[in-house]
Amino acid sequence: MNQVDPIRDIKEIKAMYEVLSRKSKRDYLLFKFAIHTGVKLSELLNLCVVDVKGEHDDIKLYWLEDHAPSIYIKLPETLRHELSQFIAQAQLKDDELLFQSNRTLKGLSRQQAYRIIHAAADELGMLHIGLTTLRKTFAYHAYQSGISISIIQKYLGHQTTFETMKFIGISTKASKTTIALSL
């Protein structure tokens, strides 16, 4: 099995946004939602509209994973707005899948989702991009933003921090922490 990498460069993420949004709003939002939440692929492909809605029929401010209920992922306002527009324009009902096949109106298969992501990456000349890239990109950027590796580990459901570091492509040798107390 080929190893896939996170998308480390913000410019490449923005290029993926551009390519995917030209193809379809659904594809763009599938990618954007996944890299902002780190949601597992099986959950992503089975998300219903009601799963992203809050109490007042708006898009939730925070994403929660069942296995890590104490970790809240704040959804960017732009993503919340785009999801709301997409749901309204597609006239999706609460019990319908958020990311469904245009042809069958059923959930996207793993193969369809792979083709969507891989085709966009291929168009941009990006290598080692697959479906796991989405979750890895989330974890990598969470780590780069200063989130503790132990919190990311818990969120991803990994057994060890070493497993998480390997997952996001960070060498434990390259990872340095400096603590300077002045009490």
Task: Please report the DSSP string for 57-114 in residue order.
Answer: SSBPSEEEETTEEEEEEEPPHHHHHHHHHHHHHTT--TTSBSSB-TTTSSBPPHHHHH
pTM for this predicted structure: 0.92
Domain 10-168: which CATH number of 1.10.443.10, 3.40.50.720, 3.30.365.10, 3.30.499.10: 1.10.443.10
Q: Of residues 69 and 78, which shows the higher confidence score?
A: 78
Least confidently predicted of 16-20, 91-95, 132-136, 171-175: 171-175
- As a whole number, mean pLDDT of residues 92-109 equals 93
